Amino acid sequence: MKKPARILILLTLLLAAACGGGGSVSTEAAAAPTTAGTAADQPGAAREAILSEIENSVSARTTSSSEMIAATDGMSISTGGGVETGEAGKVKLEFKPDGTVVRVGPNSSFTIPVLNEENGEPKTKLELAFGKVFVLLKGGSLDVETPSGVASVRGSLLSVEYDAEKGRVEATCLEGHCALEDEDGDEVELTEGESSYIEGEEDPSEPEMIDREDIEDWLEENPDLSEYLNQLPDPEDYPEDFDTDEGTEGEVFEEGEPAEPPAEEGESGYEEGAGEGEGVGEEGGEGGEGQYASFHRL
Question: Quick check: pTM over 0.75?
Answer: no
Burial code of 225-246, b = ≥16 C-beta within 10 A, e = fewer?
beebbeeebebeebbebeeeee
Instruction: Reply yes or no on whether the pLDDT at 273 is more than 80.
Output: no
% residues pLDDT > 70 (the chain): 65
Taken in order 138, 130, 195, 151, the sign of the CA dihedral is: positive
- Work out the average pLDDT over 161-181: 97
d(CA 165, CA 219): 27
CB 86 within 8 A of CB 106: yes
Return the CATH class of domain 48-227.
mainly beta
pLDDT of residue 49: 98
Structure confidence by residue, pLDDT tens digits, 206-218: 999 999 999 999 9
Instruction: Reply yes or no on whether the pLDDT at 229 is more than 50.
Output: yes
CB 167 within 8 A of CB 182: no
Measuring CA to CA, how many Å separate 55 from each of 87, 89, 133, 200, 221? 11, 5, 15, 32, 12
With helix as H, strand as E and coil as C, how does the chain read? Answer: CHHHHHHHHHHHHHHHHHHHHHHHHHHHHHHHHHHHHHHHHCCCCCCEEEEEEEECCEEEECCCCCCCEECCCCCEECCCCEEEECCCCEEEEEEECCCCEEEECCCCEEEEEEEEEECCEEEEEEEEEEEEEEEECCCCEEEEECCCCEEEEEEEEEEEEEECCCCEEEEEEEEEEEEEECCCCCEEEEECCEEEEEECCCCCCCCEECCHHHHHHHHHHCCCHHHCCCCCCCHHHCCCCCECCCCCECCCCCCCCCCCCCCCCCCCCCCCCCCCCCCCCCCCCHHHCCCCCCCCCC
Nearest to 207 by CA among 102, 113, 283: 283
Q: Would you place residue 82 in the very low, low, confident or very high pLDDT band (cuts 50, 70, 90)?
A: very high
Instruction: Reply yes or no on whether the pLDDT at 60 is more than 70.
Output: yes
Q: Would you place residue 264 in the very low, low, confident or very high pLDDT band (cuts 50, 70, 90)?
A: low
Of 43-52, 81-90, 183-192, 195-204, the least confident: 43-52
Instruction: Reply yes or no on whether the pLDDT at 5 is more than 90.
Output: no
